[in-house]
Structure 1
Amino acid sequence: MAKRKQRAKGRVVGSSGRFGPRYGRFIRKRVNEIEKVSRALHGCPRCDQVAVRRQGTGIWECRKCGFKFAGGTYVPETPTMRVATRSIERAMQKEA
């Protein structure tokens, strides 16, 4: 008989495994996705290095240049923030 590969039974739960069977599958899945994004490294708006880490709720800091800035709770740049930044840049270009 051919040998089968052994693999983990079920899904890999990641950081939401600490909840065990509580709260439901979809809530644990959402928590897992949010924590993956918030704990990942992001690009710095000042030096363009991928070294930005979350310090606290909405506080982000680049480990390379030390730039500390406010952003979204789970991501440094939210879609609303992108729109606002674009609008500000356009307004500044019209004045100049």
Structure 2
Amino acid sequence: MVKGKHKAKGRVTGSAGRYGPRYGRFIRKSVNETEKVQRAKHLCPRCDTFSVKRQGTGIWGCRKCGFAFAGGAYAPQTPGLKVALRNIEAATKKEA
């Protein structure tokens, strides 16, 4: 038998650890995943560097070029925006 630390199954740590045992495992897990995306650095649409950070709810800004833009509450590009951009690109290809 291998001796070592036993890791608890399904344990949620990270930013959701502040909730302790409250609210249930799956809610804390989803909060942890959402906050990982929210606090990560994202690609700037203007200068193409990974320096976009969240400034406030739905407000995103590039720390390199200073470009500020509106996006989703937790991610700069929402799934709806990705669909819209894909439709616009398909429509412009048909015209050209």
**Fold shared, TM-score > 0.5 on shorter chain:** yes
More moved, 83-92 vs 21-30: 83-92
Q: Percent identity?
A: 65
Equivalent in the alignment of 2:58: 58
Equivalent in the alignment of 1:82: 82
Q: Which runs of 5+ in 2 are unaligned?
A: none
Deviation digits for residues 17-61 of structure 1 (CA, Å, limit 9, x no counterpart): 111111111100000000000000000011110010011111000
Q: How much has 1:5 moved relative to structure 2?
A: 3.0
Equivalent in the alignment of 2:33: 33
2:72 alignment partner AA = G
Q: How much has 1:82 moved relative to structure 2?
A: 1.7
Equivalent in the alignment of 2:3: 4
Distance in 2 separating the partners of 1:81 and 1:62:
19
Q: Which runs of 5+ in 1 are unaligned?
A: none
Distance in 2 separating the partners of 1:3 and 1:34:
35
Distance in 1 separating the partners of 2:12 and 2:23:
17
Count matched residues: 93
TM-score of the pair, normalised by structure 1: 0.82
Q: How much has 1:79 moved relative to structure 2?
A: 1.7
Q: Give the 4+ runs in structure 1 shifted more than 4 A.
A: 89-93
Q: How much has 1:84 moved relative to structure 2?
A: 1.8
Q: How much has 1:78 moved relative to structure 2?
A: 1.1
More moved, 38-47 vs 11-20: 11-20
CA RMSD of aligned residues (A): 2.2
